[in-house]
Amino acid sequence: MATDTPMKSPEAAAVPPPRRASGTGRDRQGHQRLLTRRDRITLGLMAGVPTLLHVALVWVTAIASVLLAFTTWDGIGFDSITWVGLQNFTQLFQDNPQFWPAVQHNVVWFVVLILVPTPLGLFLAVQLDKRIRFSRVYQTAFFLPVVISMACIGFVWQLVYNPDTGLINSIIGANEPGHYIDWIGDPDLNLWAVLVAASWRHTGYMMILYLAGLKSVDPSLREASALDGANEWQTFRSVIFPTLRPTNTVVLVVTIIEALRAFDLVFVFNKGAQGTELLSILVTNNIIGESSRIGYGSAIAVVLLVISLIVIIPYLIATFRKERRA
């Protein structure tokens, strides 16, 4: 996805294609040869300072999470760190009643996002790609939830789900005592309720990604397919959808990451109470909660890290390999 950016530089068009080669080996070496000592120092700083900041705050801490997961620490002096081996993990897997539900909810979160809002976003994108009138107006409506903060979305949906005053219960008459449907508190319902809100947002996001993908589909493919007598569905299934492969990869990765990152919405909605536990919520509660256990919290983070890396690493390898070829 990153390689076929919709924004083309004006210069790229002006230069004849064969010479546009984005820096052959010789070019780059030419760049290097002309550098003065001062230039080298400047360049070192230009690359070094941001890298240092990023590595210190993101990677050092990620690695620290891994290391701390095998220790206990009171957080005060470094000498109080003691190695406990796998103890945090065994406690987490065996004794924590919230852990497996949280894993399960993260999985459900992903499955729902990929099965409902993703195809819906694709469907809307295909419809809006038909050069119809008011396309922009529709797009704006579907995309609006993506712009608003997750926290705000949480509050807005609380107003919809509130058992006493909410839209749903007011309409179906479930706000009378005895008929209560507690969308927010009932552990059998609240995950689905919050997933409706998450899907509401995710649809617009997927629609935009697919719209960008569809824009890059060669129109002559569609014409050829029409000439061959294929109907709309056949054209989509056998011609358009296969060419959307790069977009599908991005969509899959984005959806998995979203499912792992899900936090704000649930935290605002019901603080991750029973029924809506997520790994991200467990990590956070361990920090801001009463009894912060650093090693234990890190162990949960490591689970999250491992799952993320299983997704991130193959994706990045594929992306960068493609880039090197380009």
Q: Which of residues 302-321 bind other proteins (CB under 8 A)?
A: 304-305, 308-309, 312-313, 315-316, 319-320
The interface region with other proteins, picked from 94-102, 108-116, 120-128, 186-194 by CB under 8 A, is 120-128
Pick one of 142, 199, 270, 276: the residue that binds other proteins (CB under 8 A).
Answer: 142
Distances (CA, A) of 49 to 38, 60, 61, 263, 307: 16, 15, 17, 31, 30
Identity of the residue, 145 or 275, whose beta carbon is nearer to other proteins in the bound complex: 145
Name the nearest CA neighbour of 259 among 233, 287, 234, 278. Answer: 278
Q: How far apart are CA 254 and CA 206, in angstroms?
A: 9
CA separation for the pair 304, 109 (Å, rounded): 14
- Rounded to 5°, the CA angle 57-60-63 comes to 135
To other proteins, the closest distance from the beta carbon of 303 in angstroms equals 9
CB of 127 to other proteins, least distance (A): 6
| Shortest distance (Å) from residue 318 CB to other proteins | 11
Q: Concatenated DSSP letters for 174-189?
A: TTSTTS---TTT-TTT
For other proteins, give the closer residue by CB, 156 or 181: 156
Shortest distance (Å) from residue 68 CB to other proteins: 6
Contact string (CB under 8 A) for other proteins, positions 30-49, x = contact: xxx-xxx-xxx-xx--xx-x
Which of 127, 231, 234, 238 touches other proteins by CB under 8 A?
127
Q: Using DSSP, state whether 83 is helix, strand or coil.
A: strand
d(CA 203, CA 226): 29
Which residue(s) pair with 123 in the sheet?
none
Q: Which residues contact 60 (CB under 8 A, 6 or more apart)?
A: none
Among 88, 199, 270, 286, binds other proteins (CB under 8 A): 286
Residue pointed to by tokens 């005053």: 165
Q: Quick one: which of 25, 85, 177, 178 contacts other proteins (CB under 8 A)? A: 25
* Residues 90-109 close enough to bind other proteins by CB under 8 A: none
What is the per-residue binding string for other proteins in 62-81, x denoting contact by CB under 8 A?
x-xx--x------x------
What is the smallest separation between the CB atom of 142 and other proteins, expressed in angstroms? 6
What's the CA gap between 313 and 53, in Å, rounded? Answer: 22
| Residues in 163-192 that interact with other proteins by CB under 8 A | 165-167, 170-171
| Cα separation values, 158 from 108, 168, 194, 197, 269, Å | 21, 11, 9, 10, 6
d(CA 265, CA 194): 8
Stretch that binds other proteins, among 86-94, 218-226, 236-244, 299-307 (CB under 8 A): 299-307
Is the distance from CB of 128 to CB of 211 less than 8 angstroms? Answer: yes
Nearer to other proteins, 189 or 257 (CB): 257
- Provide the token pair at 150: 């997750």
Which stretch of DSSP H or E encloses residue 245?
A: helix 245-261
Using CB under 8 A, which of 82, 90, 149, 238 touches other proteins?
149
What is the total count of residues that contact other proteins (CB under 8 A)?
Answer: 126
Q: Would you give the binding string for other proteins spanning residues 215-244, x where CB under 8 A is met?
A: ------------------------------
Does residue 245 belong to the site contacting other proteins (CB under 8 A)? no
Find the distance separating the first CA and the last CA of the chain, reported in whole Å.
13
Select the residue interacting with other proteins from 112, 198, 240, 268 (CB under 8 A).
268
